[in-house]
Amino acid sequence: MAALWVAGVGRKSLTVVASGAPRREFWSRLRKEKQPVVAETVEEVKKEPILVCPPLRSQAYIPPKDLQSRLESHVKEVFGSSVPTSWQEISLEDVHMKFSFLARLADDLGHAVPNSRLHQMCRCWRRLLRVPWTAERSNQSILKEISPEYSLEGLMLKLKLQYFGHLCEELTHLKRP
């Protein structure tokens, strides 16, 4: 009898699948009292702690007076014992170190380096102390020291051979089908 009743229920749900309203009415008859109360309290309790937006921060940034000491402490935290003579001349070439240092600094000061200026924060930090977040461009002077070591003739030969190879490959590739 239970099996027949289940089969009956199953048939009814199958026939009613296409139309949503009779299905909803059918099931709502079974648990009208329970569902609305439970769902509402559950939703109210769960919504509040998550989707609350923190208060808007002000865009004005005033560097604190103890900026130097804060920078020094962060440098020591991140770089530890591998700090050279003056902590102001650390190099931020390593991406991991750079990220950890700048993230800690941003969390501490409440102001982060914008994306457009991140690539300029690489070497000397004295300018950071004088005028925060308006770093001067001096990368070219550093990069002038790097002299590329390759010959133009070798490069030309390499390009010619590459083109020849490319032509042969593409033409044979075309001919096959």
Residues at the site binding other proteins, with contacts judged by CB under 8 A: 2, 5-6, 9, 24, 27, 30-31, 35, 39, 42-43, 46-47, 49-51, 53-54, 56-57, 59, 95-96, 98-100, 102-103, 106-107, 112, 114-116, 118-119, 122, 139, 143, 146, 148, 163, 166-167, 169-171, 173-174
User: What is the closest distance, in whole angstroms, from the C-beta atom of residue 45 to other proteins in the complex?
Assistant: 9
62/111 Cα distance (integer angstroms): 9
Instruction: Tell the smallest beta-carbon distance from residue 113 to other proteins (Å).
Output: 8
Closer residue to other proteins, CB minimum distance, 86 or 158? 158
Distance separating alpha carbons of residues 153 and 17, to the nearest angstrom = 76
Gyration radius (Cα) of the chain, Å: 34
Which of 94, 90, 95, 93 has its CA nearest to residue 71?
90
∠38-41-43 over CA atoms, to 5°?
Answer: 105
**Closer of 29 and 65 to other proteins (Cβ):** 29
Please, are residues 83 and 105 in contact by the beta-carbon 8 Å criterion? Answer: no
User: Which of 152, 150, 116, 148 is closest to 135 using CA atoms?
Assistant: 116
Other CB atoms within 10 Å distance of the CB of residue 120:
15
Smaller CB separation from other proteins, 30 or 65: 30
Closest to other proteins by CB, 71 or 101? 101
**Nearest approach, Cβ of residue 162 and other proteins (Å):** 9
Residue closer to other proteins (CB basis): 86 or 91: 91
Taking the complex as a whole, how short is the minimal distance between the CB of residue 75 and other proteins, in angstroms? 16
Tokens standing for residue 44: 């109210």
CB of 153 to other proteins, least distance (A): 18
